[in-house]
Structure 1
């Protein structure tokens, strides 16, 4: 049977004429660095309508709650240097949200861009069957740079995938099925990682969760001890404890002195694995390459993502000791992913580590973090009725307000002045300052001025008088 491909092509163009015309227009816009005012208006209109009709109108309502007037319709368009981006109308924002921790080496770092572009020009994805070299090379880099005897890697596309893999590794390692997580923890929203996450509003619609998960207060070592003792007594021995060394989404909560070491000791005592979720705290964010290095504690499994892809590619990694990971040796197909560890993502991650080392960004994070933390605290000292506490480590900083309403108003005012911040766990009682580690002192000073001006503005609102 002969297929008339010319006729088929014509039929397809006729059938999908509107899609073809629309996609051509969008592709033309994608090819442009700068667009006209009319084009910007078209993009804004299409974006708002698309979110309302085809993505999720809830996002529009959220944007309205954290912006003033018509700022909810601000449409992100392009990066502007390492630490800023522009909306479609050309307004520049200092990025103090950093994609929730994606942009540790900045937006479109030239070395990361070059690595990804060069790999793209040679091969974007791999066949899935032959050995892919960049995965092996990246795994060696990760093994060499992570603390202790962490050695083997499995590469993923996101943080929640990384956590899922860590949980499966822990289950394969022993016949145990009990996990301990902590209150205010955030480990992702796929079903396994959501079982470890503590936020009730995310969990309730999907109950029951994966069985075997228990939650204890973060920082309460005695409750952790009692829970592990009780689990052992009833024959439900703990497979693993999963923790964020510093709780990011939970409100930038730092662990009490000695807590992480005590958890490590409990895990060793009860034969449980220790999983550190450093999806947000890793890659130099807190002033060390990995946050656990501050506390001199090495986990059995380390979870990485967000900044792992260099701000260019979605990428993550699970790193484990040989003792834990070898359960996957007999059958490496027990846990797989189509896109995890693809050549583009590996190229980006290799470049990201190279930049972190070359520019000494973990040390820069510690230095700028101390500077910004001090300046923010000085600014907040005049507004005790608004600001409860400012805390953090490196460039992971949380500002806790007296109420959600104050946090929302401060976020709105800062956004209006060209500084993007965001709340934690769908509330604004604590907002994060989480800029690229490449932020300059000049940009940091602009952030501090915007924060103080926002406090002055919020103090004057009648609702808070």
Structure 2
């Protein structure tokens, strides 16, 4: 994923200080050039050199409420003054009310939540819960996936960034993806493969873990019948279904959660990012009553110092109430349809666009250097390479046009705040339209 730099090799004093003393994430440190952000408002942010950017990727697909959610900011300040921290053996109104609110907005019977501080920790909790509940060890996940950076979460991740951390935790198995572009299997054929995998593994698989809509590995939307059938397959083999909604949750798809698109209630669901609109670090792992009841008589052997942090929970409660009261889920569906139409226009105008896909305000543009056989500019190994790709360059050109645009491997990721307007969409499309000229020019004959 490319983070725009733009302050030159030296940077200002603060940027130089940051480079010297702070690790840049997922990067060769010699190439890190931090850019100081001095303010953010609405759907835009400003850097120290005075440049303003329209944020069409929600930073790291997490700023679902934009940069002016005053209700959330006020809730954080009020809670910090009232009770900034209390040990997780106690509770606060914010934690209890947020647990109740999540039981209300999540699908089906999901009802009891463990609160952590990030998406990767939410997945760690899901893995442990699945193993404790079933008494089994193995977790089946998919190759085109990202579930986090901590040891268990990176082990179930398929993204090539896992390679530097291997060998990972025992018992992780990778399955194919519902992704016809670049796979030898059609999406529904990949399900039959998973069915056979579970059969061959015997009664040893605790859970199947998937993103209902794959996020940073390409914005992959499966066929409507995929997720319901996957749940059936998992249950047929005595395994749970875990849905990772860290990126696809809280209105990103035009529904509260990605699995709502398919009318599926998983056994365990993880969340973070949009849970607070990124105003505070908070993750959650919510389970069905059957799983919750298991731990009435069996120890829930998990926890940490900041579980249910009062300030983070206050931010989460205010964020969910903001989604509800400002009708942002409905707005995301409406403006997302408009965004989809505008992206189809770009696809028709640029031969370097191999495919546009997505749902709601969760969209991707996959590029190609050979339109006759859809050959990608970026490949998975590029994720670990210090070299700049054409996809990186397209994102950088969008930045020169005043639009912040994230990318991963071969896909431009468009996941703006749910507060985005039609005028913002049009501005973003104009900038991306110009940036794609670079990709068109780089195509092979």
User: TM-score normalised by the shorter chain: which range applies?
Assistant: 0.7 to 0.9
Q: Once the 2 structures are TM-superposed, how far is the Cα of residue 61 of structure 1 from its aligned partner?
A: 5.4
Is the alpha carbon distance of 1:176 and 1:285 closer, same or farther for their aligned partners in structure 2, counting shifts above 3 Å? same
Is the alpha carbon distance of 1:348 and 1:54 closer, same or farther for their aligned partners in structure 2, counting shifts above 3 Å? closer
Is the alpha carbon distance of 1:229 and 1:148 closer, same or farther for their aligned partners in structure 2, counting shifts above 3 Å? same
Aligned residues: 408
Q: Once the 2 structures are TM-superposed, how far is the Cα of residue 382 of structure 1 from its aligned partner?
A: 1.9
Contact residue 391 and residue 439 of structure 2 kept, 8 A = no
Contact residue 48 and residue 60 of structure 1 kept, 8 A = no
DSSP 3-state at the match of 1:78? strand
Aligned to 2:258: 291
The one of 355, 358, 364 equivalent to 2:322 is: 355
Aligned to 1:205: 164
**1:213-272: CA deviations, max 9, x gaps?**
11111231110110011111xxx5211000000110110011123110111111221111
Q: Once the 2 structures are TM-superposed, how far is the Cα of residue 54 of structure 1 from its aligned partner?
A: 4.5
Q: CA separation in 1, counterparts of 2:235 and 2:315? A: 36
Question: Bigger shift: 161-170 or 210-219?
Answer: 210-219
Q: Once the 2 structures are TM-superposed, how far is the Cα of residue 152 of structure 1 from its aligned partner?
A: 0.7
Q: Does 1:48 align with 2:50?
A: no
Aligned to 2:200: 230
Q: Give 5+ residue unaligned stretches, structure 1.
A: 1-40, 64-71
Q: CA separation in 2, counterparts of 1:315 and 1:147? A: 20
Is the alpha carbon distance of 1:62 and 1:289 closer, same or farther for their aligned partners in structure 2, counting shifts above 3 Å? farther
Q: Once the 2 structures are TM-superposed, how far is the Cα of residue 45 of structure 1 from its aligned partner?
A: 2.7
Q: CA RMSD in A?
A: 2.2
Is the alpha carbon distance of 1:62 and 1:331 closer, same or farther for their aligned partners in structure 2, counting shifts above 3 Å? farther
Q: CA separation in 1, counterparts of 2:233 and 2:440? A: 47
Aligned to 1:418: 402
Aligned to 1:78: 39
Q: Give 5+ residue unaligned stretches, structure 2.
A: 1-8, 179-189, 369-376, 379-388
Contact residue 315 and residue 340 of structure 1 kept, 8 A = no
The one of 211, 214, 234 equivalent to 1:244 is: 211
Question: Bigger shift: 46-55 or 430-439?
Answer: 46-55
Contact residue 51 and residue 59 of structure 1 kept, 8 A = no
DSSP 3-state at the match of 1:275? strand
Q: CA separation in 1, counterparts of 2:78 and 2:245? A: 29
Q: CA separation in 2, counterparts of 1:61 and 1:286? A: 37
Q: Does 1:396 align with 2:362?
A: yes
Query: Please, what TM-score do these two structures have when normalized by structure 2?
Result: 0.86
Q: Once the 2 structures are TM-superposed, how far is the Cα of residue 60 of structure 1 from its aligned partner?
A: 6.1
Greater share of residues in helix: 1
The one of 176, 197, 216 equivalent to 1:217 is: 176
Q: CA separation in 2, counterparts of 1:172 and 1:333? A: 8
Aligned to 2:82: 122
Aligned to 1:16: none
Q: CA separation in 2, counterparts of 1:218 and 1:325? A: 30
Contact residue 87 and residue 305 of structure 2 kept, 8 A = no
Is the alpha carbon distance of 1:56 and 1:260 closer, same or farther for their aligned partners in structure 2, counting shifts above 3 Å? closer
Q: Once the 2 structures are TM-superposed, how far is the Cα of residue 344 of structure 1 from its aligned partner?
A: 0.8
Q: CA separation in 2, counterparts of 1:342 and 1:108? A: 22
Contact residue 328 and residue 334 of structure 1 kept, 8 A = no
Q: CA separation in 2, counterparts of 1:363 and 1:54? A: 40
Q: Once the 2 structures are TM-superposed, how far is the Cα of residue 307 of structure 1 from its aligned partner?
A: 1.1
**1:4-48: CA deviations, max 9, x gaps?**
xxxxxxxxxxxxxxxxxxxxxxxxxxxxxxxxxxxxx99823313
**1:299-351: CA deviations, max 9, x gaps?**
00010001112331011110001211234334666211211311111111111
